[in-house]
């Protein structure tokens, strides 16, 4: 008796195989041409298998976004762990991890922050997104405790996230191509990205001033 393609997998292995196939489809075709049938074909399973695990295309994309946030958390934590104890150095390193993740995972990065109903009600996506945000939140709390203990955290947190996320988005959307050196996007990630993060961290450490007028 011939085994069905899905028989090659245990339950958890099939889910991971589908996610890997889905990530490849997303990277090659984008959200607009993302289909469950193509994901199943790439994984070598029946066309009903993705729906069984993820429900519909939106549910599948939500799980891919959760994978992205888990990877982002890992990227930021790994950079932070190598930065030493100084809070500003840790924040700078987390920003580098954020930008590096975006460059290396463009398709995932784009769906992680979509606001089109994808992921509504996904507990796994909420968990993964909250964990990633928590890394930045904790780093900012350490910076403020060391340099601006009286500062309300939200404005500084919004500044840091906006700067890093905005730079990463401009980078992967090719809006900074005019600044590219011979190393291409990797130069922007390391050189210009590092300079931007240095300016940001210095601004966060400087005494706050009140604009005149």
Q: 1-55, what's its fold?
A: Arc Repressor Mutant, subunit A (1.10.10)
Band the pLDDT of 1: cuts 50, 70, 90. very low
**How much of the chain, in percent, has pLDDT values that exceed 70?**
83
Q: Is it the case that residue 123 has pLDDT exceeding 80?
A: yes
Whether 122 and 88 have beta carbons less than 8 Å apart is answered as no
The least confident of 45-49, 159-163, 192-196 is 192-196
- What mean pLDDT do residues 32-54 have? 92
Spatial distance between the Cα atoms of 210 and 20, rounded to a whole number of angstroms? 51
The pLDDT value recorded for residue 8 is: 58
Sign, CA torsion 101/106/111/113: positive
Spatial distance between the Cα atoms of 157 and 12, rounded to a whole number of angstroms? 37
Give the bridge partners for 184, in sequence order.
181
Q: What digits encode the pLDDT tens for the residues 17-26?
A: 999 999 999 9
Residue with tokens 């050196």: 181
The pLDDT value recorded for residue 47 is: 87
Classify 45 as helix, strand or coil: coil
Band the pLDDT of 2: cuts 50, 70, 90. very low
Band the pLDDT of 122: cuts 50, 70, 90. confident
Q: Is it the case that residue 62 has pLDDT exceeding 80?
A: yes
Q: For the domain bounded by 57-205, which CATH number is listed?
A: 1.10.357.10
Same fold, 1-55 and 57-205: no
The pLDDT value recorded for residue 6 is: 46
Spatial distance between the Cα atoms of 9 and 199, rounded to a whole number of angstroms? 50
Domain ranges across the chain: 1-55, 57-205
């Amino acid at each position: 008796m011939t085994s069905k393609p899905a028989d090659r997998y245990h339950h958890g292995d099939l889910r991971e195989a589908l996610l890997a196939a889905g990530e490849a489809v997303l990277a090659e075709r984008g959200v607009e041409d993302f289909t469950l049938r193509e994901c199943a074909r790439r994984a070598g399973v029946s066309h009903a298998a993705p729906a069984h695990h993820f429900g519909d295309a939106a549910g599948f994309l939500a799980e891919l976004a959760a994978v992205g946030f888990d990877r982002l958390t890992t990227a930021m934590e790994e950079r932070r762990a190598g930065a030493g104890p100084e809070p500003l150095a840790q924040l700078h390193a987390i920003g580098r991890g954020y930008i590096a993740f975006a460059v290396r995972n463009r398709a995932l990065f784009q769906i992680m922050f979509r606001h089109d109903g994808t992921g509504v009600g996904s507990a796994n996506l909420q968990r993964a997104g909250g964990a990633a945000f928590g890394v930045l939140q904790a780093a900012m709390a350490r910076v403020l405790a060391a340099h601006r203990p009286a500062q309300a955290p939200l404005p500084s947190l919004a500044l840091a996230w906006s700067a890093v996320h905005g730079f990463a988005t401009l980078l992967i959307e090719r809006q900074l191509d005019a600044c590219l050196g011979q190393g291409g996007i990797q130069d922007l990630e390391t050189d210009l990205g590092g300079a931007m993060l240095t300016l940001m961290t210095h601004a966060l450490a400087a005494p706050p001033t009140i604009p005149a007028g």
